[in-house]
Structure 1
């Protein structure tokens, strides 16, 4: 295929992908929340994936031969893994630079320093009345990002359309109140995920019924016979959480606050688990992603009529 044909295929795929952003904007938010990839980073890697995955077409692959698409699919997964790895590097570097201390060992003299500490989160007094929970399933948490999709079924086929998404978080403390955490829009990693469905035509359990009623963009209970699919990714209160950020003097004497004045991160698990999880995201996923990018391309060439000679001549 000519260079013009290759460009046409790439542009058509890119236009199709970008159309999802306008037709179903919640889909891109869902992907961003699920994998922890900023949208601009995701689109950059998506374009790179299109350009790389369709190289067999430029090298003479027959579009009617479906086998080489298995290699291109591996390429797509590889770019996803690398995007996750790259998106996690800043938080991983932040964690490595931070001074690891116990919550009770941080003193007001440490203010202005980058620290990493962990402990079981306790919602602050203002939030303690009615333990903070995930909005739809009621699981105790200090941070939740969620998406809601509506199912539309015709016979054996089903389609899901995104209805809404959001983030909820509360201030909490570590170490019996020694450290207050009041981060805004922190980077979050290693979250738990809970997905479930609800039939609006039946009795909708709490707290989903109340949360649906409070969100004007979401259908109210009993308003239709649609199925709703909920996805909640959250940091629970029943286990330790690692907080990375700059320590500042809190309003109460002797209390240190980690706030959102700088880049901050919340990672489910203690310090060792957080370090391991971030190392896996940055290095293992990155290496596997690179292997899939190049290995998938070799597989695509092997399963098609494409040749590296034809590719070089086309370039």
Structure 2
């Protein structure tokens, strides 16, 4: 690799197959000061999905190559962020120290969720990155770019170390990236299989306060939840960086899943919400993270 700001040498060991694997080794040399170095960049496409407010006049229920960003943090937490097609550029950062993995995932594998016999979005592979050395403190950065249709890759995710790269310095990179059609083997917690939201008003009741609120439901299933019966004391651990969360609840579902629900009050500021299911103080689901932009029409 050779450019005005950086040069380097790469080595790729490729193992093709059902899950194609690429081991990457690189040594980079900075010619200029580099404030941000994106490592293991992934790109994908998300046009609209089940939680999209605005959608084109299209017979297909969903159109995307990936529906979420999954992270396995250095502390062992699993975080799921559903993707969106915003009306203006969104950049999100997920601070971590020595991450164990991250990837752009196509979690929904059912043809009926897409109805597309040409693009076959239900067969699109996920892509997972595993560091093979210590990456230290930094963050995963997610960039969501507005797109009018599915012909543009508008989703980007990569790792950014806290340490900058000054002119004359070098940095070694060593990581593995591979495709997969399921979830990473180490992920044995309940997974968010559905994110929906809508107006919180009760049909037939003209309650103006509730009409201004936003109702969210997040359904979890699989993993550790498969062995938890409906009479177990599953609790909802929920927080918001900005503003309050109203009426948080957790409810067992008839399909051996669990539903987390909550409301957000009317506001002109974004709300960054995190939630997970716990049993006797221990997590039994991944952490669902979502940013609600009330002005993102």
Between Structure 1 and Structure 2, the one with more helix by share is 1
Structure of larger gyration radius: 1
Task: Identify whether the pair has TM-score above 0.5, normalized to the shorter chain.
Answer: no
TM-score (norm. length: structure 2)? 0.23
Normalising by structure 1, report the TM-score: 0.22
| More strand as a share of residues | 2
Between the two structures, name the one with larger relative contact order (CA 8 Å, sep ≥ 6): 1
